Structure 1
Amino acid sequence: MTISHTLQKAIDSLRLQDVYLRDSFAHCHDEFDPKYLGEQEALNVQQMHVVRQTVIADLEGNGKLVRVFVRFGVRWVNPIAERSMDEQGSPSVVANIEAEFIAEYALEQEISQTCIDDFATQNASLHVWPYWREFLASQCERMRLPRIVLPAWQLPHHRREESSGC
């Protein structure tokens, strides 16, 4: 897979400055106590990943900053109750963890909004992913939720073709 012209232009024009947590939410629902529940392994895990928005900020004489807001989430669903759904037609969520991170990039040369959008949707999450992995692992441990080990994230165009020799 090759990188599009607009994405490459954004990669060449943006320099990562910071990644930080903007917002987080963690909750075990009323009747659910993960420490003493023997059915943890039976819970279904659902994940969320959304690039919510990009904002270009003028730094008053110091250039521009592109801020990408990326939201992640995991929720544990009771598989038995999930089949029947609750009164509102939603799955029976017993716990959830969500976090929104901001990745900030110095804009070294002007680029189009299309370039910025391509970068935000195809590349920015790569920079945020390690922070989300650590945050999720830490929250799971603190809340005594089943451990979730998220894989390292690699962009498709960085993958090597498999050879028969390895």
Structure 2
Amino acid sequence: MAENSMNAELQKAIECLRIQDVYLRNSQGDLMEGFDPKYSPEANDLAVQFKHVVTCEDVLQLQEDEKEVTLFRVHIDLGARWVVLPEPKVEGGSEEKEEENIKAVIEATFLAEYLIEGEPGQKALDEFALKNASYHVWPYWREFLMSQSMRMNLPKVALPAVQFASNNRESAGDQD
């Protein structure tokens, strides 16, 4: 029953929101000291780990050409890091894990901006932020990650066409 009410809230938001813009808020790309992806022998053995989290949302009231406009913005943090995974060690019958050896990181925060038409309510906006905004941001992230990794000489990363945020069962409003 709760899933049906969440689907109803999501549908309400879909009916009230119109995509206006998707843009990069900030980004960072780093190669760790001593690592050169072009010449390091370990460059061929790197694993890639990903981050995808809806971090917050906000509603803005703007004055535009003598008309009040209400916008809904969703902030999504995305990232990839190239790591050398440690070999598991067995000591005293238990497996101990060492931390990954991070070699490179690319991270970005994208904003998806929507015009609010009507009154969807906070619950509907929360559901939309967690379950729909990533659909609009994802193509921009895919292109950004591919081009940045190639510019940094990192192994090519081809992301799938769609991915959901990792916090899609939490409330985005709780992330502020």
User: 1:1-166 to 2 correspondence within 5 Å?
Assistant: 4-60=7-63, 61-80=67-86, 85=98, 90-153=99-162
Is this contact kept in 2: 1:82–1:91, CA < 8 A? no
SS at match of 1:69: strand
Q: Distance in 2 between matches of 1:93 and 1:131?
A: 25
Equivalent pairs: percent with the same residue? Answer: 47
The aligned amino acid for 2:150 is E
Give the deviation of 1:145 after TM superposition.
Answer: 0.2
Farther off after superposition, 53-62 or 128-137: 53-62
Contact kept, 8 Å, 1:81 with 1:92, in 2: the verdict is no
The answer to whether the 8 Å contact 2:74/2:133 transfers is: yes
Q: Are the equivalent residues in 1 in contact too, given 2:59–2:70 (CA < 8 A)?
A: yes
Q: Which has the higher strand share?
A: 2
Q: Which moved more, 1:37-46 or 1:133-142?
A: 37-46
Cα RMSD (Å) of the superposition?
A: 2.1
**CA gap 1:117/1:35 in 2 versus in 1, 3 angstroms:** same
Distance (whole Å) between structure 2 residues aligned to residue 38 and residue 30 of structure 1: 15
Q: Match of 2:41, SS?
A: coil
Q: Which amino acid aligns with 1:80?
A: P
Runs of 5+ unmatched residues, structure 1: 156-166
Q: Distance in 1 between matches of 2:141 and 2:112?
A: 12
TM-fit CA distance, 1:81: 7.3
Contact 1:53 1:68 in 2 (8 A): yes
Q: 1:147 Cα deviation (Å)? A: 0.3
Any conservation in 2 of the 1:81–1:91 contact (CA below 8 Å)?
A: no
Shift of 1:153: 1.0
The ranges of structure 1 where at least 4 consecutive aligned residues each deviate by more than 4 angstroms after the TM superposition are: 81-84
**Does the CA-based 8 Å contact 1:25-1:98 persist in structure 2?**
yes
- Report the TM-score, using the length of structure 1 for normalisation: 0.84
2:86 is paired with a residue whose SS is helix
Seen in structure 2, the aligned counterparts of structure 1 residues 69 and 154 have a Cα distance that, compared at 3 Å, is closer
63-72 or 1-10: bigger deviation: 1-10
Shift of 1:78: 1.1
The TM-score normalised by the length of structure 2 is 0.80
Q: SS of 2:11's equivalent?
A: helix
CA deviation map 1:111-160 (0-9, x unaligned): 211100000000000000000000000001100000000010178xxxxx
